[in-house]
Amino acid sequence: MEIVTRAALEPDRTALVITGDFVRSVRHRFPIEVRHLYTSERGDGEVGAKVMKVDEGIHVLVPEYYFEPQTDPSFDYDLRNRHVTRLMHHEAGHVTMEQAGEASGPTIDRDGAARRRLGLLHG
């Protein structure tokens, strides 16, 4: 969560949600009339996580399987942890842009506060 809160313009309004039923959790946050339309399938893969504006805050939804222990003794936890870290950096960018009003369409914050903050984190 530290990766996300460091990037957030408003960390107090940002929540990490680790969920066992990712699709259901995402759908629950959509207006009731469009919930059934959401799917986690994308091309030949699946969504890794989702950033959603909820009321006055931002929720970062992440499937719990990223954090579950594995029964296979050869499972590469380091590789998984690196993947999750990259994923959180990616989602952190979405959080920053959403909070700065730069998430879609013409930017509200034309001076690019989100992009500057993201540049500071990765530069």
Sequence ranges of the domains in the chain: 2-122
Is the pTM for the entire model greater than 0.85? no
Q: How distant, in Å, are the alpha carbons of 56, 62, 80 from that of 93?
A: 18, 15, 20
Q: Which of 71, 59, 66, 62 is nearest to 99 (CA)?
A: 59
Per-residue pLDDT band at 15 (split at 50, 70, 90): very high
Residues 69-85 have pLDDT tens digits of: 999 999 999 999 999 99
Which string of b and e fits 22-41 if b means at least 16 CB within 10 Å?
bbebbbebeeeeeeeeeeee
Closest CA to 52 of 82, 14, 89, 83: 14
Q: In this predicted model, what pLDDT tens digit does every residue of 34-72 receive, in sequence order? A: 999 999 998 889 999 999 999 999 999 999 999 999 999
